[in-house]
Each structure stands twice: as C-alpha cells, then as structure tokens.
Amino acid sequence: MDFNEAEEETENKNTEKHLISKDTNESDSEEYDTDLEENFAEEKDFYKTQEEIYFQTCQKLEIAPVSRFLRELCSESVDLQHYGIGDKGVIAFSSALARNITVKKVNLADNSISTIGAEALALMLKDNCFITQLDVSQNRIGTKGIEFFGEMLNENDSLVSLALGSCGLQERDIPKLLQADSIRLRILNLSGNELRDVGAILLGSFLISNSTLEILDLSWSAIHLRGVAAIAKGLKTNTVLQQLDISRNSISNEGATEIGEVLAVNRSLLIIDVSNCGFNEIGAEAISEGLSFNKSLQTLKIGRNLFHDYGVQKLLKEIRNNTSSALMHLDMEDTTLDQKCVQELQSLIHERPGFTCQWGTVVKGGGTVVEMPASLRKNVPKTPLVVQKFLSFVSKRGWRLIDLFRIITRNDFSALRMTVDRERFVEGLQKLGVHLKRVQLDELFDILDVDEDGVVSMEAGKQQSQGVGDSGTRAVSAALEGCLNVRTLNLHDNGIGDKGMIYIARMLKRNPFITKVDLSGNHIGQGAADELGDTLLQNNTLKELNVSKCNLQGKRIAVFCNSLRLDAPLTYLNLSYKDIGDKGATFLGSAIKVNAVLDTLDVSWNSIRVKGARALAEGLKCNTRLREVNIAWNGLLDDGTAAIQEALSCNQTLKVLDIGSNCITNKGVAAIAKFLKTNKSLEVLKTGRNPFQSYGARVLLRAIQKNPSSALKELQLDDIVFDKECARELEVLLEGRPLFTCSWDISITGERLSDQTKRPEILDVYLAFVRTKGLRLIDLFKILSKDRDGLKLSKEDFVVGMKKLNAPMHDVHIGELFDKMDSNGNGVIVFQDFVLWTRERYQPQGAAAQEESGRR
C-alpha cells in the first residue's frame, strides 16, 4: 500500500481511547469546556504527534508503516518479533519512540536489523528513560552495533533487561558491550553467540565487580573449560546473580567440578542450568558434593548429560542428606533411572512433599519397564497405555527394537530401509501374541508414525542432542564404518568440533549405505571442511546433508561449493544459519550454475544482501535441476529481488521458492509479479513477512490471473494484510482455479479488522477435487481401495491413493479427512459410509441453485 492508504487505514483502526479525530475533539470542547477535557485533548495530541512523526519518517524512507506498531504505541509493550522491518523500519520506529512515555517493553527479535538499525535504537534509548526491557535477539547487529549499545548502557539508567541472543557476538565484543562497571542491567541474554572461552573470561571478570545483574543466559555459546572456570571464579564472589543458564556448552567433567565448587560457597544462586554439557558420573558427583553444602539453590537442571544410575543416586542422596537444602525441583530430562534411584527419590519426596523431579525413562533390573508412582509423575509426560503394554511385551521377550523390526518384516529387503507399513506392523505383532486388540494396535501405529507418512521407521543411527563431543564421535564413527543397516545419521547439536567432524567425514568415505546426514549445530573448522568436501566427491550414495549452524564461512564454504561444482551426489543441502554473506553466496552462485544434481537448497538466515542475491540469480539462470530454493530471512531488498526475477524468467525447473522476510517493498513486488505473468513451472511461492501489505498482495494475485499457463498452486503471504480488493482478486482467481490455495493473516472489512486467517477448509478442497475429477464415487472408492472386493478402505490406502491422484492436500490433512469419515474409529471405512458421508456434504452447483429457487 502507498503512504496515504496506510495512514487512512491506521486512522480507521485505532480505538477512540488512543486516537480521536480533530472534529470530535472540537465538538467535545464546545460542549464540555473543562480543565479535565483540555488535559485529555493535550494527551491525545501528544500521541498523535508521535504517529505523525512515524508516518513522516516512513514516507521519507519510502517504507510501509507497521499497523501493529501503531496499535501498540500507547500500550506498555510493543512486540514486533519476526516482522522483518529492517534498518529503515527501526529508524522510523525509533523516531516515534524517542518522546514516548508509555512503552516499557520492546521486542524486535528477528527483524533483519544491522549496525544502522542498532545505532538508531541506541540513540533513541539515550533519550528515552521509560523503556526498561529490550529484545533484539536474532539480528546481525555487528561489532559496531554492539559498541553503540555499550555507549548507550553507559548513559541509560532505566534499561534493566537486554536480550542479544543469536546476534553474532564474538569474544572481542564483550568489552565493548560491558564498558562500565556502573551498568544497571538486571537481566542479560547472550545465548547463541560465539563467545568462546575468551568471552567467558571477560564475563567472569565482570561478575566479580557487578552488583546488579540477577539473570544471565550463556547457553549455546561455545564455552569450554577455561571459560567456565572464569565464570565460576566470578560467581564465588558475586552475591546478586540469582539465575544462570550455561547449558549446551561443552564444559565436560572439569567444568562440572568448577560448578560444584561454586555451589558449595555461593549463597545467591536460585536456578542453574547445566544440561547438555557433556559430563558423566564424575561431573555429576562433583556437583553433588557442592549440593551437600548449598542452602540457596531452588532449581537444578542437569538433564541430557552422560551420567546414569550412579550419578543420579549420588545427586538424590546428597540432596536428601542436606537438611538445609532449598532445592525443590530437579530436572534430569533424558536420564535413565533404575529401581534404586526410584527408591531414593521416593524417600526424598516422602521427606519433602513439595519436591518435584523430571527424568526420561525408569528401568528395573532385567530390562522390565516399571510404572512410575503417582507421586513421581509431576512434570513427566504421561506415556499412553498402549505404548506401556507394547514396551513391556518387548522387554519380557528380551528383544531389541531392531530385532523386533526384523521379525515383523521377515528379514526381507525392505527391512534394510528399517520401515514397516501399518498392515505388516499389525499382522506381525498379532502373530507374536501381543495382548492388544486391533484398534489398540492401530492406535500404537499412529503414535509411532511421527512423520504421519503411513510407515514406522527405525532410525538406528539417531543420536540427537546427546552431547557426544569429539571423543564420542570417534566411537560412533568406528562403529558405523562397517554398518549395513543405518541409513540416517543425526548428530545435531552434539558439541562436535573440527576433530570430530573429521572422524565423521572419513567414516562416510568408507560407508556406502548412509544416505542422510544431519551435522547441524556443531562446529566445522577448515580441516573438517576440506575433509567433508573430499568426502562429497568420493561418496556416491550420500544424498542429503544438513550443515546448518556449523559456522561455515569464507574458505570453508568455498570448499563445499567446489564439490557442488564438480557434481557431488547431493540432492539436498541445508546451509542455513551460517552468515555466509555475499562472499559465500558468490561462491554458491557459481557452483549451482553448473551443478546438475542438487534438487533442494536452503540458504536462509545467511546475511545475504543485494550482491549475493545477484550472484545466486546468475546461478539460477543456468541451472536446470534445482526444484526448491529457500532464500528467506536475508536482506535481498528490491534490487536483489529484481535479480531473482530476471533469473526465474529464464529458469523453467524451479517448483518452490521462499523469499519471505527479505524487506521487499512495492517495488520488489512489481518485479515478482513480472515473472509470475510468464513463468510456467513455479508451484509454490512463499513471500510473507515483507513490508508490501495489501497493495503488493493485489499485484501478485492479478499477475497470476493474467498467466493462464501458470503452474502456481500455493501462495503464502504470512503476516500480510488483506483488504476488500485483495479478497475480490482472490475470488476471481479461485473461479478459474478452484484448487489454488492462498494464506495470509489479517483481513480488513471497512473499518474492522479480522485476525482470523482465511485458509481453505479441508472438506472444501476435497469436494472441489471430487468435482473436478469427474469420477463417480464408486469409481473413486475402487481406485483408492486395495481390498480385493473393493468394499473396504484403510487409512493408509486412502492417503496413498489421494496422493497418487495429486489431491491438493498435505498428508496430514488427508489423514484428518479420513478420520472424519471414519465414524467408528477403527481405521477402516466401508463403501456405504464413504458414499453417504460424501453425498451429505457434496452439493453440485445445479442442486444448490434449485434449492435456492425453491426457497424463494
């Protein structure tokens, strides 16, 4: 929308509490001439002035105003998380808030803010003494931006909470942020940054002298032993910090020992999180010794580490023996408890009725699963009864799950894929004598079918979030070198460094059976990057690789691109969350220009700007293989979008494109619309969370209408406002394409807002599908059913059959549709029920017209 439309729309939407028209104020003043009324009018003029400043700045910067900001301008909280307003949006935002006295909490997380936007925020906060909480997480504000915030904190006495999570901070930025000892912050979030040991050492020194900070979050910060030792040293003398999160850092046993020493002497900490930190029983014992002296700690989170029964017993025993302990909640997520642990926990709860404990699995000697006592179930997810019976049955037989899979699949070739369909799963368990009815077996299958794809999988290589580290990775690699069954290896977020990645890369050279690998959330150095690049050229079976959040930059990304240039066998590559920037995008663009294998590429969240977008566009012009590309959450702007438009005018193979949250305005939308008028291949376009609003939506819908050869089936406009004209354009489009789907967030009718997202109902899509296919119901039923007589239809057959017929619905929606038809809930529908259910809801257009004329 243009500036005048935005201003008119905002004036219509604002409530009378916050904005009164000039005519109304004048009439009220004439009728009630009192001091109170004059003060009230002055207050309105004050807020109106802030709106005018915001509108004028938006107009000057040529950006669309954000309606939500205008609605919240007079409230205590402004939440624009994930809006992608960019630096220009922040400048306009800051200009309006400079005089504001009501807003106390501001959330600008994930808005593509760089150094320029950070400077505008810092300048505003120097003048505004009313804002107390600021969240700018997931924005790449840069070293200079951190310096601006440091200068602001030196002058601002009112800001007490600052969140800078996942902002790309490094160790060198800490001194610039915490410049003065007089900083009055009480809450500081630095999670998800590359602080490393040097940054932690600087923070430890800060904690020694600081007397205000109460909550500190350092999770996911690549901190190791030296860093945690410095933090511990600061905590030994600090008397104000109440909550510390140091989870998901590889502190190992030595780091856990440092934490144990802190707990023994510190009297201010109330909550500490050391989960997923890679220590075993030795580290758990060290923390237990600290707990034996501690009198202040109330909550301890220590799950997802490598200790088991002995470590748990030691923890519970020391907590129980310390009669002065204040600990009331122990979180041991994903930790196994044996019977002795359960008995120790029961004794502890008997002595402290309010104590709660969370863990993963309770196991008794011999592998028998025991039911948890009711008093111990607080905060523990309840396991369905059918799952409990199933696990008990497996344990009594003494089988591993992999053994059970082989028995059910009768060791045929499909077992190598480690998947089993519903019928074989149910039939196999019935033959083995499991004490579950058919309905219960169907329920068990649905629970285990987490992907809702009609099969249950056995991923023997799944090690997600277990914190195995480099040494554990070496053991995993050695075991997998000669393994024939594992197809998927998931080592996401395991504290693996360059050394561990080299082990994985060398193993993959020797293992030709693994086809999918997820290494995201770990660290890939130059040595590992070289090794992985070499692996991609030697391994002909690896098809999918996820290396997001692995710090692949500069020369490291160049190695991967070189492998792609030489036609590595990968069909799926995820390079998101890497900050590869324009330089990395340039390498990548030259690679995809000649690559003839890759199908799916994800480069979202990579700080790619106009230069990088142009390089990627050059690659897409020549590429004839890519089917799906995700460039969302970068900074393409209008010029970068124009480059993508030129590429897609030549590309006739791309099916799915995501360019959401790229600060694309009306000018960029015009470029998108230009290629939509001629493109014949694109099926899904995701362009939400961009600041073009209703005008841009109308332009896109009209462009699709003008292209009769367009293959576009889905248009996603998340966080885009729809007005009456948009709705009319969509109605016209749906008349010619009844199966087209479009999603958005807000609809405007006159002066009223509707926050309900209008997406096509599953039933409407199904009925439209039946109508367009022109099949009789009996013919459709026979096509879908695999029953010999064609009289029964299972859920699996329904889903698979509808997909083969290219029904425009996701698998989940097709399953939901079947559940609605299945009135008995037994997983099977018969032909009579299918026909009656469909006919009751299916009304041809002619019948509808006759019914309407009959009413008249």
Q: Name the strand (E) or helix (H) holding 301.
A: strand 299-301
For position 574, what pLDDT does the model report? Answer: 93
Which structure tokens are listed for 515? Answer: 């086809």
783-792 pLDDT tens trace: 787 765 556 7
Question: What values do phi and psi take at 493, rounded to 5?
Answer: 55, 65
Rounded Cα gap, residues 463 and 490, in angstroms: 6
Report whether pLDDT(280) > 80: yes
Residue 479 confidence (pLDDT): 81
**Of 379-393, 510-524, 587-601, 741-755, where does mean pLDDT reach its minimum?**
741-755
What single-letter amino acid sits at 744?
Answer: W
Query: Please, what is the average pLDDT of the chain?
Result: 79
Which residues share a beta bridge with 743?
Answer: 716
Q: Examine the pLDDT at 776 and tell me if it is beyond 60.
A: yes
Predicted confidence at residue 168, as pLDDT, reads: 85
The residue to which tokens 């104020």 are assigned: 25
Least confident of 368-377, 423-432, 502-511: 368-377
Q: What is the pLDDT of residues 33-64, one digit of tens each?
A: 444 444 444 444 454 578 889 889 999 999 98
Task: Compute, in degrees rounded to 10, the torsion defined by CA atoms 640, 642, 647, 649.
Answer: 160
Low-confidence winner among 377-386, 678-687, 689-698 (lowest mean pLDDT): 377-386
Which range in 136-140, 461-465, 691-695, 766-770 is most confidently predicted, on average pLDDT? 136-140
371 pLDDT band, cuts 50/70/90, is very low
What integer pLDDT is reported at residue 658 of this predicted model? 94
**Per-residue pLDDT, 272:** 97
% of the chain at pLDDT higher than 90? 31
For residue 811, how many C-alpha atoms fall within 13 Å in the half-sphere facing its CB? 11
Structure token digits, residue 661: 């949250």
Which of 75, 82, 80, 77 lies closest to 65, judged by CA? 80
Q: Looking at the predicted structure, is the pLDDT value of residue 767 above 60?
A: yes
Nearest to 112 by CA among 156, 65, 145: 145
Lowest mean pLDDT among 328-337, 407-416, 496-505, 811-820: 407-416
Q: How far apart are CA 340 and CA 316, in angstroms?
A: 11
Dump pLDDT digits (tens) for 527-558. Answer: 888 889 888 888 878 899 999 888 777 677 88
Q: CB-hemisphere CA count at 13 Å for 55?
A: 18
Q: Is the pLDDT of residue 303 over 80?
A: yes
- What's the confidence (pLDDT) of residue 452? 65
Query: Of 128-137, 200-209, 511-520, 755-764, where does mean pLDDT reach its minimum?
Result: 755-764
Average of pLDDT values for 72-101?
91
Place of tokens 């470590």: 311
CA dihedral (402, 404, 406, 408) positive or negative: negative
pLDDT at 453: 66
3-class SS of residue 197: helix
Most confident of 357-371, 487-501, 806-820: 487-501
Is 27 a residue whose pLDDT tops 70?
no
User: b/e map of 604-639 (b: 16 or more CB within 10 Å)?
Assistant: bbbbbbbebbbbbbbbbbebeebebbbbbbbbbbbe
What domains does the chain contain, in order, with CATH numbers?
Answer: 50-363 (3.80.10.10), 385-410+418-457 (no CATH), 768-841 (1.10.238.10)
Could you tell me if 333 and 359 are in contact, meaning their C-beta atoms sit under 8 angstroms apart? yes
Beta partners for residue 457, in sequence order: 419
- Cβ neighbours for 46, distance < 8 A, ≥ 6 positions apart: 99
| Order of all β-strands in the sheet with 516-518 | 461-462, 488-490, 516-518, 544-546, 572-574, 600-602, 628-630, 656-658, 684-686, 714-716, 741-743
Range of weakest confidence among 482-486, 577-581, 596-600:
482-486
Q: Mean pLDDT over residues 225-238, rounded?
A: 93
Going 84 to 86 to 92 to 93, the CA torsion angle's sign is positive
Nearest to residue 130, comparing CAs of 153, 160, 89, 164? 160
To the nearest 10°, the Cα dihedral for 149, 154, 160, 161? 20
CA distances from 19 to 43, 45, 57, 739, 800 (A): 10, 9, 19, 42, 55
Confidence of residue 179 (pLDDT cuts 50, 70, 90): confident
Residue 450 pLDDT level (bands cut at 50, 70, 90): low
Query: Which of 695 and 374 is assigned the larger pLDDT?
Result: 695
pLDDT at 694: 84
**Phi, psi values for residue 743, rounded to 5°:** -120, 140
Q: Which of the two residues, 248 and 38, has the higher pLDDT score?
A: 248
Give percent above pLDDT 70 in the chain.
78
**Residue type present at position 822:** D
| pLDDT over threshold 60, residue 16 | no
Could you give the CA distance from residue 219 to residue 226 in angstroms, rounded to a whole number? 16
Report how far residue 283's alpha carbon sits from residue 271's, in angstroms, rounded to the nearest whole number: 18
DSSP string, 790-806: S-EEEHHHHHHHHHHTT
Q: Is the dihedral of CA 588, 591, 594, 598 positive or negative?
A: negative
**Token reading at 767:** 């009925």
Residue 218's pLDDT is 95
Quick one: how far is CA 19 from the chain centroid? 37
For the stretch 117-159, pLDDT in tens is 999 999 999 999 999 999 999 898 988 999 999 999 988 989 9
| pLDDT of 853 higher than 90 | no
Q: Determine whether 410 is exposed, middle or buried from the number of CB atoms within 10 Å of its CB (0-12, 13-18, 19+).
A: exposed
Of the two residues 428 and 243, the one the predictor is more confident about is 243
Q: Tell me the Cα Rg of the chain.
A: 30
| Distance separating alpha carbons of residues 111 and 124, to the nearest angstrom | 17
Q: Is the pLDDT of residue 231 over 90?
A: yes
In this structure, the number of other CB atoms found within 10 A of the CB of residue 707 comes to 16
Q: pLDDT-derived band of residue 6, with 50, 70 and 90 as boundaries? A: very low
> Is residue 846 over pLDDT 60?
no
Neighbours of 452 (CB within 10 A): 14
Dihedral of CA 109/110/112/114: which sign? Answer: positive
Q: What is the pTM of this model?
A: 0.47
Residues near 496 by Cβ (< 8 Å), separated by ≥ 6? 468, 469, 470, 473, 504, 519, 522, 523
Q: Report whether 805 contacts 838 (CB < 8 A).
A: no
For residue 398, the model assigns a pLDDT of 55
Q: Tell me how far the alpha carbon of residue 589 is from its chain's centroid.
A: 26
767 contacts 841 by C-beta, under 8 angstroms: yes
> Higher-confidence residue: 838 or 563?
563
- pLDDT tops 60 at residue 8: no
Helix/strand/coil for 507: helix
In this prediction, residue 839 carries a pLDDT of 63
Q: Give the pLDDT score at 416.
A: 39
